[in-house]
Chain A
Amino acid sequence: MILAAGANGGPGLQLLLVLGGALFLGTVGARVLRWLRFPQVLGYILIGLVLGESGFAWITSHMIERLSPFNIFALGVIGFMIGGELHRDAFKRFGRQFIIILIAEGVAAFLVVGALAGVVTYLIKPDVQLATAVGLLLGAISAATAPAATIRVLREYKTRGALTQTVFAIVALDDGLALVLFGIASSIAARLLHVSTGGKELTMIAGLLKTGQELLGGVALGAAAGVGLNWLLRRRRDHDRALTYTIGTLALVIGVSARLGFDTILASMALGVMITNLARRRSGSTFEMVERFAPPIYVLFFVLVGAHLHIGAMPTVLWILAGVYVVARSGGKMLGANLGGRLASAPAVVRKYLGMCLFCQGGVAIGLAWMASGRFRDVMLFGDVNLGVAIMTIITATTFIVELVGPPFVKHAAHKSGEAGLDVTEEDLMVSYTVADMVDRSAPSFRRGDPVAVILRTIADTDAETYPVVDGEGKLVGIISLAHLKQSFGAEGLTAWLVAFDLMEPADDTVTETTPLADAVEQMKLEHLDCLPVLSDEADGRFVGVLELRRIDRILSQEILRRRQLAEVST
């Protein structure tokens, strides 16, 4: 088929050209956005906008239409990877407390966004069903949180403690919650708006049955496929075939779900959940494999999402809804995190600051919006804007907004909670010290005239490797190292009349008190020295003490331990 299309130079070839171009340009866009500290997803979407009908119209809506099965597959991959996170150990590890907070913050965002967006929609266009559908869809999508930017900020400020731990748990798990909420919301919205029943009105009971069938059918299909895939993977251990089986199963699950009218994302997620829980160890490599295979799929998906957008003239009503969405979502997350924290008796820092760490949204929200855009494109919302396009546009616009305002809030929370700076490594700490903080001022040293007997006694009583020799004015004149000293005692008879002055060697390497610690340590490592004499920074260069690697290590690890304990107290 491809060969035939290629030989004719037909649309097949055109499609390949678009695929290749989209991948390359999408990656360029992501790099630019990452440089601007935006998530890469937005870079792909921007490139999509440029290539799509809002821009050069290189990617036409016809092509997007032809590629829509691919997009559904990409969402399936996302769902599968999210399912892979939901291992029972994660729940056990994070504990009941996290699950309560997770559900509270997700559901609160859902309810607050749903209610406010629904009311605002109703005020603009008094249609209860439509307003409810808008509320359900935006509410469900609002539960998802993008981990990347949030975690980047926490890492940047080296946070550690209860808040940090909770944020990590929540952002890892709440995409799963969003997927489930969206499955339910989307199915109910479809019933309300008579989508996919050919405009036919179903009875309440029939509607509920249909919703149950969509969700549970998807979950059952994914779970059953998971059992099958697990059986295959257990028999076949080589990687190439494992990847083929996994991708094949995923494609089958998505295809069958779509055919039977099941929720494709929930089905994919169920497959991921099954695989990760049935075979903990083996599944690790399965998800790694898919992860490695996935980047071009993600890039292409988000470029196509961008190409699909008509951002040119976003109607004012959508801007209003976008504003309501951002405010309601932020408020809902804060409220839910606080309530959940109270219910779970979480520490005060979690109750107070968790919400503002959950503002960022990204790929999953956009993926779900895209899902909605396909399903609800025949439902007119305002004027000629259909519900699908509205959701897609609102979520894309708000992603830009929350990715801008979200990170500063995370930073604020990190500092206010007192968890910033508690998760430091020795390298981080080192930057904040100078040699003066670490110098051992009581390190043993010798006067030039000290006889060998004194030298030997001091060496026996101390455990240094190097001993400085100073003159009457306290100036460093040389050093005596143990290695060096050994050579001096090859012959007997010298010990009675030699002094430190005879045994010392020139002190070529020294540092001053104001030298940054990191520079001094680098110098020591470069010269393979365990210690360095330290001089005062004044012009006279008086000997101050000895800088020892062992001592630096000890002080730094004590400080790290102290900070960890501080972080633990807050847990």
Chain B
Amino acid sequence: MTELTEYLTPERVVVLKSVTKADALGELVDVLVATDGGVSAEELIKEVWKREDLMSTGIGNGLAIPHVRMSGIRLAAMVVGVSRAGIDDYESLDKKPVHIIVLIAAPEGAHETYIRMLAKVADVLKEDTLRQAAIEADEPATIHRILTEGKA
């Protein structure tokens, strides 16, 4: 079991169809809005880009963690999108394509939870084998299992 179990539900794991950063972020935002509903997709994507414009959230090793805090969000949540082909225009820190995007959204005041989620995602996904297994899995359910159980 990994520490992501608490925040990640199976329906919030998707295999990305998009091949650009903009489309991919849009896809993940739609998933989140469909399952939370506290905010509109327009508001959420605007906030996500506000942060991306400051500095890319592509942190290297094929992983990106876009994150947002805003008042409309009801509960801290994450959405995972996996792209086997990779997204080339993410501008990650190591300039490599991004394969796993974890979108984190938290209510305005939940700073501590928010930072903890960021840290846990980075921590769990620093395992090369786990990342690789997730990228190679074709089914969202499998990806969910890998990420929550921590086994490839």
Contact = CB atoms under 8 A, between A and B. Distances in A.
A493 B93 CA distance: 13
A199 interface: no
Interface stretch (B25-33, B53-61, B81-89): B53-61
A491 B59 contact: no
A498 B67 CA distance: 10
Nearest to B115: A488
A496 B112 contact: no
Q: Which of A449, A497, A499 has the most CB of B within 10 A?
A: A497
A502 B108 contact: no
Contacts of A487: 111-112, 115
A484 B111 contact: yes
Contacts of A505: 111
B141 interface: no
B21 to A, nearest CB: 16
Given A496-B93, A505-B111, A491 B55 contact: no
B46 interface: no
Nearest to B118: A494
A496 B116 CA distance: 15
B130 interface: no
Q: Which of B57, B108, B115 has the most CB of A within 10 A?
A: B115
B123 A449 contact: no
Contact of A502 (B109, B118, B120): B118
B95 interface: no
B120 A491 contact: yes
A502 B67 contact: yes
A491 B93 contact: no
A451 interface: yes
A448 to B, nearest CB: 5
A63 B36 CA distance: 92
A494 B55 contact: no
A497 B92 CA distance: 10
A501 interface: yes
Interface residues of A, number: 19
B116 A501 contact: no
Contact of B115 (A493, A494, A496, A506): A494
Nearest to A500: B54
A9 interface: no
B65 to A, nearest CB: 8
A88 to B, nearest CB: 68
A491 B54 contact: no
A104 B94 CA distance: 92
Nearest to A488: B115
A448 B67 CA distance: 14
Interface in B6-55: 51, 54-55
A499 B115 contact: no
Nearest to A487: B112
Given A491-B119, A491-B122, A493-B122, A501 B51 contact: yes
Contact of B119 (A484, A493, A496, A506): A493
Given A493-B126, A502-B67, A505-B111, A449 B54 contact: yes
A503 B93 CA distance: 19
A304 to B, nearest CB: 71
Interface string A466-503: 00000000000000000010011011011011110111
A451 B59 CA distance: 13
Interface in B105-152: 108-109, 111-112, 115-116, 118-120, 122-123, 126
Nearest to B93: A497
Nearest to B58: A497
Given A487-B112, A505-B111, A506-B108, A498 B54 contact: no
Contact of A490 (B51, B111, B119, B126): B119
Q: Which of B54, B93, B108 has the most CB of A within 10 A?
A: B54
A493 B123 contact: yes
A498 B111 CA distance: 13
Given A491-B122, A496-B93, A502-B118, A449 B112 contact: no
A502 B106 CA distance: 11
Contacts of B55: 449, 451, 497, 499
Contact of B59 (A488, A496, A499): A496
B113 to A, nearest CB: 10
A503 B111 CA distance: 8
Nearest to A494: B119
A499 B93 CA distance: 14
A491 B116 CA distance: 8
Given A484-B111, A505-B111, A498 B116 contact: no
Nearest to B114: A502
A494 B54 contact: no
Contacts of B109: 506
Nearest to B122: A493
A46 B111 CA distance: 70
B59 A497 contact: yes
Contacts of A497: 55, 57, 59, 65, 93
A499 B66 CA distance: 12
A490 B116 contact: yes
A339 to B, nearest CB: 75
Given A497-B93, A498-B118, A501-B51, A491 B123 contact: yes
A471 to B, nearest CB: 10
Contacts of B118: 494, 498, 502
Contacts of B116: 490-491
Contacts of B115: 487-488, 490, 494, 502-503
A498 B108 CA distance: 17
A502 B57 CA distance: 11
A499 B108 CA distance: 17
Interface in A505-534: 505-506
A516 B61 CA distance: 54
A494 B122 contact: yes
Interface of B: 51, 54-55, 57, 59, 65, 67, 93, 108-109, 111-112, 115-116, 118-120, 122-123, 126
23 contacts: A449-B55, A451-B55, A487-B112, A487-B115, A488-B115, A490-B115, A490-B119, A491-B116, A491-B119, A491-B122, A493-B122, A494-B115, A496-B93, A497-B57, A497-B93, A498-B118, A499-B54, A499-B55, A501-B54, A502-B51, A502-B67, A506-B108, A506-B109
What are the 10 A-B residue pairs with the smallest beta carbon separation, nearest first?
A: A491-B119, A449-B54, A497-B59, A488-B115, A493-B122, A499-B55, A499-B54, A487-B112, A505-B111, A448-B54
Given A494-B122, A496-B93, A501-B51, 6 more contacts: A490-B119, A493-B122, A494-B115, A497-B55, A502-B51, A505-B111
